A and B are shown apart, each in its own frame.
Chain A
Amino acid sequence: MNQPIASFVPLTATLMDKHQESPGIFTLHLALNTSTPFNFSFGQFNMLYLFGVGEVAISIMGWQNNLLLHTIRAVGRVTQPLVKLKPGDQLGLRGPFGCGWPLEHIKGKDIVFITAGLGCAPVVAAINHSVENRQHYGRIVILQGVKHHNDLLWQTQYDHWQNTGNCQVLLAASEEYKHRYQWRLGMVTELLDFAEFDAKHCAVLMCGPEIMMLAALKQLAKHQVTDDAVYLSLERNFQCGQASCGHCQLGPFFVCKDGPVFHYPTVKPWFGLSGI
Chain B
Amino acid sequence: MTKHFFARQHLNQLFNVLMDSGYQVVGPTVKDGAIVFTELARVEQLPWGWQEVAKPGHYHLTPSRKNLCFAWNTGPQALKPWLFKPEQPLWQAEQTEQGLCFRQAPAKVTPIAVVGLRGCDLAALKLQDQHFIHGPYPDPYYQAQREQLFIIAVNCAQSAETCFCVSTGDGPAATHSFDLLLDELEDGYLIGVGSEQGQAVFQQLTLGQQATIDQLDIAQQQLADASQQQRHMPDEHSLLKLTENLEHPQWQDVADRCLACGNCTLVCPTCFCSKQESTSDIKLQQAEQVRLWDSCFSEQHGYIAGKLFRPEIRHRYRQWLLHKLANWQQQYGRSGCVGCGRCISWCPVGIDLVAEAQTLLEGSPHESAHR
On whether A and B touch (CB less than 8 Å), the answer reads yes
User: A: which residues have CB within 8 A of B?
Assistant: 7-12, 14, 33, 49, 51-55, 75-76, 90-92, 119, 211, 214, 235-237, 239-240, 242-247, 249, 251-252, 254, 257, 269, 272-276
CB pair A244 B306 closer than 8 Å: no
Mask: chain B, 262-283; 1 = CB below 8 Å from A; 0 = not: 0000000000111111111000
Known: A237-B302, A274-B369. A243 touches B135 (CB 8 A): yes
CB pair B305 A236 closer than 8 Å: no
Interface positions, chain B 103-144, Cβ under 8 Å from A, are: 103-104, 131-132, 135-137, 139-140
In the complex, B363 has a CB within 8 A of chain A: no
Q: B246 contacts which chain A residues (CB < 8 A)? A: 273, 276
CB pair A252 B319 closer than 8 Å: no
CB pair A76 B305 closer than 8 Å: yes
Compute how far the CA of A252 lies from the CA of B279 in the bound complex, rounded to whole angstroms.
32
Question: Distance in Å from the Cβ of A55 to the closest Cβ of chain B?
Answer: 7
CB pair A8 B371 closer than 8 Å: no
CB pair B100 A244 closer than 8 Å: no
Q: B101 contacts which chain A residues (CB < 8 A)? A: 12
Which among A33, A243, A275 has the greatest number of chain B C-beta atoms within 10 A?
Answer: A275
Interface positions, chain B 68-109, Cβ under 8 Å from A, are: 90-91, 93, 95, 99-104
In the complex, B304 has a CB within 8 A of chain A: yes
> In the complex, what residue of chain A is closest to B265 when comparing beta carbons?
A246
CB pair B93 A242 closer than 8 Å: no
Known: A52-B287, A245-B274. A276 touches B99 (CB 8 A): no
CB pair B272 A244 closer than 8 Å: yes
* Other-chain residue from B91, B131, B291, B304 in contact with A9 (beta carbon distance below 8 A): B91
Q: A242 contacts which chain B residues (CB < 8 A)? A: 135-137
Q: A11 contacts which chain B residues (CB < 8 A)? A: 102
Mask: chain B, 323-364; 1 = CB below 8 Å from A; 0 = not: 100010011000000000000000000000000000000000
Interface pick from B37-45, B170-178, B310-318? B310-318
Q: B280 contacts which chain A residues (CB < 8 A)? A: 51-52
Q: A237 contacts which chain B residues (CB < 8 A)? A: 300-304, 309
Number of interface residues of B (CB under 8 A): 57
CB pair A249 B104 closer than 8 Å: no
User: B: which residues have CB within 8 A of A?
Assistant: 90-91, 93, 95, 99-104, 131-132, 135-137, 139-140, 243, 246, 272-280, 284, 287, 289, 291, 294, 296, 300-306, 309-312, 314-315, 318-319, 322-323, 327, 330-331, 369-371
Q: B140 contacts which chain A residues (CB < 8 A)? A: 8
Q: B102 contacts which chain A residues (CB < 8 A)? A: 9-12, 92
Compute how far the CA of A8 lies from the CA of B104 in the bound complex, rounded to whole angstroms.
8
Which among B272, B278, B294, B310 has the greatest number of chain A C-beta atoms within 10 A?
Answer: B278
Compute how far the CA of A55 lies from the CA of B246 in the bound complex, rounded to whole angstroms.
33
Question: Distance in Å from the Cβ of B194 to the closest Cβ of chain A?
Answer: 28
* Other-chain residue from A9, A54, A214, A252 in contact with B371 (beta carbon distance below 8 A): A214
Question: Distance in Å from the Cβ of A85 to the closest Cβ of chain B?
Answer: 11
CB pair A90 B100 closer than 8 Å: yes
Question: Distance in Å from the Cβ of A189 to the closest Cβ of chain B?
Answer: 15
CB pair B309 A276 closer than 8 Å: yes
Q: B277 contacts which chain A residues (CB < 8 A)? A: 54
CB pair B273 A245 closer than 8 Å: yes
* 6 extra A-B contacts, CB within 8 A, seeds A12-B101, A235-B305, A251-B243: A8-B90, A49-B278, A51-B287, A52-B93, A90-B100, A237-B309
> In the complex, what residue of chain A is closest to B332 when comparing beta carbons?
A252
Question: Distance in Å from the Cβ of A237 to the closest Cβ of chain B?
Answer: 5
Which among B279, B289, B318 has the greatest number of chain A C-beta atoms within 10 A?
Answer: B289
Compute how far the CA of A18 lies from the CA of B96 in the bound complex, rounded to whole angstroms.
23
Compute how far the CA of A273 lies from the CA of B303 in the bound complex, rounded to whole angstroms.
16
Q: A214 contacts which chain B residues (CB < 8 A)? A: 370-371
CB pair A245 B276 closer than 8 Å: yes
Which among B99, B136, B296, B310 has the greatest number of chain A C-beta atoms within 10 A?
Answer: B136
Q: B311 contacts which chain A residues (CB < 8 A)? A: 275
Which among A49, A76, A252 has the greatest number of chain B C-beta atoms within 10 A?
Answer: A252
Chosen A-B contacts, 22 in total, with CB atoms closer than 8 Å, are: A11-B102, A12-B101, A33-B99, A51-B93, A51-B100, A119-B305, A214-B371, A235-B305, A242-B135, A242-B137, A243-B135, A245-B274, A245-B294, A246-B273, A246-B301, A247-B275, A247-B301, A251-B322, A254-B331, A273-B371, A275-B310, A276-B319
Compute how far the CA of A29 lies from the CA of B104 in the bound complex, rounded to whole angstroms.
26
Q: A49 contacts which chain B residues (CB < 8 A)? A: 93, 278, 289
Q: B284 contacts which chain A residues (CB < 8 A)? A: 51-52
Q: B136 contacts which chain A residues (CB < 8 A)? A: 242-243, 257
Compute how far the CA of A58 lies from the CA of B371 in the bound complex, rounded to whole angstroms.
28
Compute how far the CA of A38 lies from the CA of B104 in the bound complex, rounded to whole angstroms.
21
Question: Distance in Å from the Cβ of B101 to the closest Cβ of chain A?
Answer: 7
CB pair B315 A276 closer than 8 Å: yes
Compute how far the CA of A246 lies from the CA of B137 in the bound complex, rounded to whole angstroms.
14
